Structure 1
Amino acid sequence: MVVAGAVFDEGRLLAARRSAPPELAGRWELPGGKLEPGETAPQALVRELREELGVETEPGERIPGEWPLAPGYVLQVWTARLLSGEPSPLQDHDELRWLARHELDSVDWLDQDRPAVAEAARRFPGEHPGNRS
Protein backbone atom coordinates (compact mmCIF):
# COMPACT_ATOMS: atom_id res chain seq x y z
CA MET A 1 0.00 0.00 0.00
CA VAL A 2 1.03 3.60 -0.63
CA VAL A 3 -0.15 6.45 1.61
CA ALA A 4 -0.27 10.10 0.63
CA GLY A 5 -1.04 13.20 2.61
CA ALA A 6 -3.43 15.99 1.80
CA VAL A 7 -1.29 18.35 3.89
CA PHE A 8 -3.12 21.51 4.89
CA ASP A 9 -1.66 24.66 6.39
CA GLU A 10 -3.18 28.13 6.61
CA GLY A 11 -6.01 27.21 4.24
CA ARG A 12 -3.73 25.80 1.54
CA LEU A 13 -2.98 22.29 0.23
CA LEU A 14 0.58 21.11 -0.46
CA ALA A 15 1.35 19.79 -3.96
CA ALA A 16 4.64 18.12 -4.91
CA ARG A 17 6.09 17.85 -8.45
CA ARG A 18 7.69 14.50 -9.27
CA SER A 19 11.29 14.46 -10.48
CA ALA A 20 11.41 10.67 -10.95
CA PRO A 21 10.75 8.19 -12.46
CA PRO A 22 10.89 9.69 -15.98
CA GLU A 23 7.29 8.71 -16.86
CA LEU A 24 5.98 10.69 -13.87
CA ALA A 25 8.49 13.56 -13.84
CA GLY A 26 6.91 17.01 -14.11
CA ARG A 27 3.48 15.90 -12.87
CA TRP A 28 2.09 16.74 -9.45
CA GLU A 29 0.98 14.55 -6.55
CA LEU A 30 0.07 14.51 -2.91
CA PRO A 31 3.32 13.53 -1.14
CA GLY A 32 3.74 10.19 0.61
CA GLY A 33 5.15 6.72 0.08
CA LYS A 34 5.01 3.00 0.76
CA LEU A 35 4.12 1.37 4.06
CA GLU A 36 6.93 -0.53 5.73
CA PRO A 37 6.29 -3.83 7.55
CA GLY A 38 4.63 -3.31 10.92
CA GLU A 39 3.53 0.29 10.24
CA THR A 40 0.01 1.60 10.29
CA ALA A 41 -0.99 3.93 7.45
CA PRO A 42 -0.89 7.03 9.70
CA GLN A 43 2.58 6.06 11.01
CA ALA A 44 3.85 5.58 7.45
CA LEU A 45 2.42 8.94 6.42
CA VAL A 46 4.19 10.79 9.25
CA ARG A 47 7.48 8.99 8.44
CA GLU A 48 7.24 9.56 4.68
CA LEU A 49 6.43 13.28 5.03
CA ARG A 50 9.38 13.65 7.42
CA GLU A 51 11.72 11.83 4.99
CA GLU A 52 10.43 13.40 1.77
CA LEU A 53 9.75 16.96 2.93
CA GLY A 54 11.45 17.44 6.31
CA VAL A 55 8.23 18.32 8.16
CA GLU A 56 6.31 17.02 11.17
CA THR A 57 2.62 16.39 10.57
CA GLU A 58 -0.43 15.13 12.39
CA PRO A 59 -2.60 12.67 10.40
CA GLY A 60 -6.31 13.42 10.29
CA GLU A 61 -9.09 11.53 8.58
CA ARG A 62 -8.76 9.03 5.78
CA ILE A 63 -10.20 10.28 2.51
CA PRO A 64 -12.66 7.66 1.20
CA GLY A 65 -11.49 5.51 -1.69
CA GLU A 66 -8.44 3.61 -2.91
CA TRP A 67 -6.76 4.17 -6.25
CA PRO A 68 -4.68 1.56 -8.11
CA LEU A 69 -1.01 2.35 -8.75
CA ALA A 70 1.64 -0.09 -9.95
CA PRO A 71 0.66 -3.76 -9.81
CA GLY A 72 0.19 -4.79 -6.20
CA TYR A 73 -0.11 -1.23 -4.87
CA VAL A 74 -3.08 0.96 -4.06
CA LEU A 75 -3.09 4.58 -2.93
CA GLN A 76 -4.84 5.69 0.25
CA VAL A 77 -4.94 9.37 1.15
CA TRP A 78 -5.20 10.94 4.60
CA THR A 79 -5.61 14.55 5.56
CA ALA A 80 -2.69 15.90 7.57
CA ARG A 81 -1.95 19.09 9.44
CA LEU A 82 1.47 20.70 9.31
CA LEU A 83 2.86 20.89 12.87
CA SER A 84 6.40 22.14 12.27
CA GLY A 85 9.01 22.64 9.61
CA GLU A 86 9.01 24.28 6.20
CA PRO A 87 8.49 21.67 3.46
CA SER A 88 11.45 21.18 1.12
CA PRO A 89 11.67 18.77 -1.83
CA LEU A 90 14.21 16.29 -0.40
CA GLN A 91 13.43 13.09 -2.36
CA ASP A 92 11.54 12.32 -5.59
CA HIS A 93 10.34 15.93 -6.04
CA ASP A 94 11.86 19.08 -7.54
CA GLU A 95 9.22 21.64 -6.59
CA LEU A 96 6.52 22.15 -3.97
CA ARG A 97 3.58 24.54 -4.07
CA TRP A 98 0.97 25.58 -1.53
CA LEU A 99 -2.34 25.82 -3.41
CA ALA A 100 -5.46 27.67 -2.32
CA ARG A 101 -8.74 25.93 -3.16
CA HIS A 102 -9.21 28.00 -6.34
CA GLU A 103 -5.68 27.04 -7.50
CA LEU A 104 -6.06 23.25 -7.33
CA ASP A 105 -6.55 22.96 -11.10
CA SER A 106 -3.42 25.02 -11.83
CA VAL A 107 -1.09 21.98 -11.75
CA ASP A 108 -1.06 18.75 -13.80
CA TRP A 109 -1.97 16.16 -11.14
CA LEU A 110 -1.10 12.50 -11.67
CA ASP A 111 -4.23 10.63 -12.78
CA GLN A 112 -4.49 8.53 -9.59
CA ASP A 113 -4.23 11.67 -7.42
CA ARG A 114 -7.07 13.57 -9.14
CA PRO A 115 -9.98 11.88 -7.30
CA ALA A 116 -8.15 12.22 -3.97
CA VAL A 117 -7.48 15.92 -4.61
CA ALA A 118 -11.17 16.41 -5.46
CA GLU A 119 -12.12 14.74 -2.16
CA ALA A 120 -9.50 16.79 -0.28
CA ALA A 121 -11.01 19.96 -1.77
CA ARG A 122 -14.29 19.10 -0.02
CA ARG A 123 -12.42 19.10 3.29
CA PHE A 124 -10.61 22.37 2.69
CA PRO A 125 -10.12 24.22 5.97
CA GLY A 126 -10.00 27.57 4.16
CA GLU A 127 -13.13 28.85 5.89
CA HIS A 128 -11.57 28.36 9.32
CA PRO A 129 -8.43 30.04 10.65
CA GLY A 130 -5.53 27.57 10.82
CA ASN A 131 -4.40 26.57 14.29
CA ARG A 132 -0.72 25.74 14.18
CA SER A 133 0.93 24.80 17.39
Structure 2
Amino acid sequence: MPVEKLPRQIVGAAIVDSLAHPTRLLAARRTAPEQFAGKWEFPGGKVEAGESDTEALHRELLEELGVTVALGTEVRGPLPGGWPLNEHAAMRVWLAELTAGEPKPLEDHDVLAWVPLAGSTELVDLAWIPADRPIVDALLAQVSAPL
Protein backbone atom coordinates (compact mmCIF):
# COMPACT_ATOMS: atom_id res chain seq x y z
CA MET A 1 0.00 0.00 0.00
CA PRO A 2 1.57 3.37 -1.01
CA VAL A 3 2.28 5.86 1.73
CA GLU A 4 0.88 9.33 1.06
CA LYS A 5 3.69 11.88 1.27
CA LEU A 6 2.76 14.88 3.35
CA PRO A 7 3.87 18.32 2.18
CA ARG A 8 7.10 19.71 3.64
CA GLN A 9 6.16 21.82 6.66
CA ILE A 10 7.40 25.40 6.59
CA VAL A 11 6.81 27.94 9.36
CA GLY A 12 6.76 31.73 9.21
CA ALA A 13 6.22 34.73 11.44
CA ALA A 14 4.14 37.82 10.88
CA ILE A 15 6.26 39.93 13.26
CA VAL A 16 4.23 42.92 14.41
CA ASP A 17 5.10 45.82 16.67
CA SER A 18 2.51 44.71 19.26
CA LEU A 19 0.40 41.58 19.59
CA ALA A 20 -2.21 43.55 21.55
CA HIS A 21 -2.52 46.43 19.05
CA PRO A 22 -0.54 45.67 15.87
CA THR A 23 0.12 48.67 13.63
CA ARG A 24 3.26 47.59 11.71
CA LEU A 25 4.59 44.37 10.16
CA LEU A 26 8.24 43.43 9.66
CA ALA A 27 8.66 42.29 6.04
CA ALA A 28 11.82 40.57 4.82
CA ARG A 29 13.25 40.74 1.28
CA ARG A 30 14.79 37.48 0.02
CA THR A 31 18.19 37.13 -1.61
CA ALA A 32 17.74 33.53 -2.90
CA PRO A 33 16.75 31.36 -4.66
CA GLU A 34 16.94 33.29 -7.91
CA GLN A 35 13.18 33.16 -8.64
CA PHE A 36 12.43 34.78 -5.25
CA ALA A 37 15.40 37.16 -4.94
CA GLY A 38 14.14 40.70 -4.41
CA LYS A 39 10.67 39.52 -3.34
CA TRP A 40 9.22 39.98 0.13
CA GLU A 41 8.17 37.26 2.56
CA PHE A 42 7.40 36.31 6.13
CA PRO A 43 10.66 35.21 7.79
CA GLY A 44 10.88 31.56 8.82
CA GLY A 45 11.89 28.25 7.33
CA LYS A 46 11.72 24.47 7.34
CA VAL A 47 10.70 22.34 10.28
CA GLU A 48 13.51 19.86 10.95
CA ALA A 49 13.11 16.29 12.22
CA GLY A 50 12.32 16.20 15.92
CA GLU A 51 11.15 19.83 16.10
CA SER A 52 7.65 21.08 16.71
CA ASP A 53 6.42 23.77 14.33
CA THR A 54 6.82 26.48 16.96
CA GLU A 55 10.30 25.27 18.01
CA ALA A 56 11.35 25.48 14.36
CA LEU A 57 9.95 29.00 14.06
CA HIS A 58 11.87 30.22 17.12
CA ARG A 59 15.09 28.63 15.78
CA GLU A 60 14.63 30.09 12.30
CA LEU A 61 13.96 33.62 13.60
CA LEU A 62 17.08 33.49 15.75
CA GLU A 63 19.18 32.25 12.80
CA GLU A 64 17.72 34.57 10.14
CA LEU A 65 17.10 37.76 12.14
CA GLY A 66 18.88 37.35 15.48
CA VAL A 67 15.68 37.81 17.48
CA THR A 68 13.46 36.02 19.93
CA VAL A 69 9.70 36.47 19.88
CA ALA A 70 6.50 35.78 21.74
CA LEU A 71 4.03 33.98 19.49
CA GLY A 72 0.43 35.07 19.18
CA THR A 73 -2.41 33.53 17.22
CA GLU A 74 -1.92 31.60 14.02
CA VAL A 75 -2.97 33.13 10.71
CA ARG A 76 -5.01 30.09 9.70
CA GLY A 77 -4.61 28.76 6.20
CA PRO A 78 -6.92 26.62 4.07
CA LEU A 79 -4.96 23.38 4.61
CA PRO A 80 -4.20 21.41 7.80
CA GLY A 81 -0.54 22.42 7.25
CA GLY A 82 -1.45 26.07 6.70
CA TRP A 83 -0.93 27.86 3.40
CA PRO A 84 0.07 26.03 0.19
CA LEU A 85 3.45 27.24 -1.10
CA ASN A 86 3.75 24.72 -3.95
CA GLU A 87 2.86 21.07 -4.54
CA HIS A 88 5.54 20.00 -2.03
CA ALA A 89 5.26 22.48 0.86
CA ALA A 90 2.78 24.28 3.10
CA MET A 91 3.45 27.07 5.60
CA ARG A 92 1.94 27.83 8.97
CA VAL A 93 2.22 31.50 10.02
CA TRP A 94 1.90 32.99 13.49
CA LEU A 95 1.65 36.56 14.65
CA ALA A 96 4.73 37.33 16.73
CA GLU A 97 6.13 40.19 18.80
CA LEU A 98 9.81 40.82 19.45
CA THR A 99 10.99 40.01 22.98
CA ALA A 100 14.77 40.29 22.50
CA GLY A 101 17.20 41.42 19.83
CA GLU A 102 17.13 43.98 17.04
CA PRO A 103 16.10 42.37 13.72
CA LYS A 104 18.95 42.20 11.22
CA PRO A 105 19.09 40.41 7.84
CA LEU A 106 21.59 37.73 8.91
CA GLU A 107 20.60 34.92 6.49
CA ASP A 108 18.44 34.71 3.35
CA HIS A 109 17.47 38.42 3.36
CA ASP A 110 19.10 41.72 2.40
CA VAL A 111 16.47 44.20 3.64
CA LEU A 112 13.99 44.29 6.51
CA ALA A 113 11.23 46.89 6.60
CA TRP A 114 8.57 47.85 9.12
CA VAL A 115 5.44 48.45 7.05
CA PRO A 116 2.13 49.97 8.23
CA LEU A 117 -0.74 47.51 8.53
CA ALA A 118 -3.45 50.14 7.99
CA GLY A 119 -3.88 53.55 6.42
CA SER A 120 -1.48 52.83 3.56
CA THR A 121 -1.12 50.55 0.54
CA GLU A 122 2.59 50.10 1.29
CA LEU A 123 2.17 46.55 2.60
CA VAL A 124 0.05 45.23 -0.28
CA ASP A 125 2.17 47.10 -2.84
CA LEU A 126 5.35 45.20 -1.88
CA ALA A 127 6.47 42.56 -4.40
CA TRP A 128 5.53 39.56 -2.24
CA ILE A 129 6.46 36.00 -3.11
CA PRO A 130 3.25 34.88 -4.84
CA ALA A 131 2.48 32.15 -2.29
CA ASP A 132 2.80 34.66 0.59
CA ARG A 133 0.41 37.23 -0.92
CA PRO A 134 -2.83 35.47 0.22
CA ILE A 135 -1.35 35.30 3.72
CA VAL A 136 -0.91 39.10 3.67
CA ASP A 137 -4.64 39.48 2.90
CA ALA A 138 -5.60 37.03 5.67
CA LEU A 139 -3.29 38.81 8.12
CA LEU A 140 -4.84 42.19 7.31
CA ALA A 141 -8.33 40.77 7.80
CA GLN A 142 -7.30 39.15 11.10
CA VAL A 143 -5.63 42.22 12.64
CA SER A 144 -8.45 44.54 11.59
CA ALA A 145 -11.13 42.28 13.10
CA PRO A 146 -12.25 43.17 16.61
CA LEU A 147 -10.59 40.95 19.21
Matched, 1:73 2:81: no
Structure 2 equivalent of residue 31 of structure 1: 43
Residue-pair matches, total: 126
**Match of 1:3, SS?**
strand
Q: Which runs of 5+ in 2 are unaligned?
A: 1-8
**Match of 2:48, SS?**
coil
Q: 2: CA distance between counterparts of 1:14 and 1:55? A: 12
Q: TM-score, normalised by structure 2?
A: 0.79
**Match of 1:124, SS?**
helix
> For 1:6-56, what per-residue CA distance to the aligned partner results, in whole angstroms no more than 9, with x for missing partners?
001152101000001111000000100000112111111111111000011
Q: CA RMSD in A?
A: 1.7
Kept after mapping to 1: 8 A contact 2:75/2:142: no
Instruction: Compute the displacement of 1:69 (Å).
Output: 2.5
Q: 1: CA distance between counterparts of 2:57 and 2:92? A: 10
Kept after mapping to 1: 8 A contact 2:28/2:43: yes
- Identity of aligned pairs, percent? 47
What does 1:1-133 correspond to in 2, within 5 Å? Answer: 1-10=9-18, 11-65=23-77, 66-101=82-117, 102=120, 103-124=122-143
Q: TM-score, normalised by structure 1?
A: 0.87
Between 73-82 and 47-56, the greater mean CA deviation after superposition: 73-82
Q: 2: CA distance between counterparts of 1:110 and 1:59? A: 23
Kept after mapping to 2: 8 A contact 1:33/1:45: yes
Specify the code of the residue in structure 1 equivalent to 2:32: A
Spell out structure 1 runs of 4+ moving beyond 6 A. none
